[in-house]
A and B are shown apart, each in its own frame.
Chain A
Amino acid sequence: MKRFLVILLFLCGPALAVQPDEVLPDPAQEARAREISQGLRCLVCQNENIDDSNASLARDLRLLVRERITAGDSDDEVVAYLVDRYGEFVLLRPTTSGWNWLLWAAGPLLFLFAMGLGGVYIRSRSRAEAPSEAVLSPEEQARLRDILDDNR
Chain B
Amino acid sequence: MINELGHFALILAALVACVQAVVPMIGAHKRWPGWMAVAEPAATAQFLLTLLSFAALMHAFIVSDFSLRLVVANSHSAKPLLYKISGVWGNHEGSMLLWVLILALFGALAAWFGGNLPATLRARVLGVQAMVGVAFFAFILFTSNPFLRMAVPPFDGQDLNPLLQDPGLAFHPPFLYLGYVGLSLCFSFAAAALIEGRVDAAWARWVRPWTLLSWVFLTIGIALGSWWAYYELGWGGFWFWDPVENASFMPWLLAAALLHSAIVVEKREALKSWTILLAILAFGFSLIGTFIVRSGVLTSVHAFATDPERGVFILAILVIFTGGALTLYAARAGTMQAKGVFGVVSRESALVANNILLAVACFVVFVGTLWPLVAEMLFDRKLSVGAPFFDMAFTPFMVLLGLILPVGALLGWKRGKMGRALRQLVPGFGLAVAVAGLVWTMQTGRSLLGPVGLFLGTWLVAGAATDLLTRVGRSRDYARLLRLPRADWGKAVAHGGLGVTMAGIAGLMAWQIEDIRAADLNTPYTVGAFEFELLGVQRVQGPNWFADRGEVSVRRDGAEIAHLYPEKRTYPVARMPTTEAAIHGGFWRDIYVVIGDAQQGGGWTVRVYLKPLANWIWGGAILMAIGGALSLSDRRFRVAAGARKAVPAGEVPAE
B-binding residues in A (CB < 8 A): 1, 6, 9-10, 13-21, 23, 38-39, 41, 46-49, 52, 87-94, 98-100, 103-104, 106-107, 110-111, 114-115, 118, 121-123, 125-126, 128-131, 134, 150-151
Contact = CB atoms under 8 A, between A and B. Distances in A.
Contacts of A151: 651
Contact of A46 (B299, B339, B388, B393): B299
A14 B163 contact: yes
B552 to A, nearest CB: 15
A23 B516 contact: yes
A103 B368 contact: yes
Given A14-B234, A20-B517, A151-B651, A131 B339 contact: yes
A47 B576 CA distance: 19
Contacts of A125: 270, 338, 340-342, 348
A121 B352 contact: yes
Nearest to B365: A107
B340 A20 contact: no
Nearest to A19: B605
B606 to A, nearest CB: 9
A39 B620 CA distance: 28
A100 B461 CA distance: 38
A99 B380 CA distance: 11
B577 A13 contact: yes
A89 B380 CA distance: 12
Q: Is the interface of B mostly helix, strand, loop or mixed?
A: mixed
Contacts of A47: 240, 242-243, 299-301, 384, 386
A99 B378 CA distance: 10
A99 B379 CA distance: 8
Of B360, B597, B651, most A-chain CB atoms within 10 Å: B360
Contacts of A111: 356-357, 360, 397
Given A19-B605, A107-B393, 8 more contacts: A38-B387, A47-B243, A47-B300, A88-B384, A92-B387, A99-B375, A110-B363, A125-B348
Closest 8 CB pairs of A and B: A92-B386, A93-B388, A16-B596, A107-B364, A14-B233, A14-B234, A20-B518, A114-B356
A16, A18, A150, most chain B CB atoms within 10 A: A16
B344 interface: yes
A14 B569 CA distance: 11
B349 A122 contact: yes
Nearest to B338: A125
Contacts of B596: 15-16, 19
B371 interface: yes
A54 to B, nearest CB: 9
A142 to B, nearest CB: 14
Contacts of B270: 125
A79 to B, nearest CB: 12
Nearest to A5: B306
B338 A92 contact: no
Interface in B521-555: none
A109 to B, nearest CB: 10
Contacts of B599: 20
Contact of A118 (B233, B352, B651): B352
B32 interface: no
A20 B516 contact: yes
A106 B605 contact: no
9 contacts: A6-B575, A10-B575, A15-B568, A41-B386, A93-B386, A93-B389, A94-B385, A107-B360, A111-B356
B605 A52 contact: no
B40 interface: no
Given A47-B240, A47-B300, A92-B388, A17 B382 contact: no
A17 B235 CA distance: 9
A14 B579 contact: yes
Which among A49, A99, A122, A131 has the greatest number of chain B C-beta atoms within 10 A? A122
A68 to B, nearest CB: 19
B470 to A, nearest CB: 24
A18 B381 contact: no
Contact of A52 (B237, B344, B359, B361): B237
A94 B383 contact: yes
Contact of B578 (A14, A90, A98, A130): A14
A122 B343 CA distance: 7
Nearest to A129: B341
Interface in B226-268: 232-235, 237, 240, 242-243
Interface string B279-307: 00000000000000000000111010010
B301 A91 contact: no
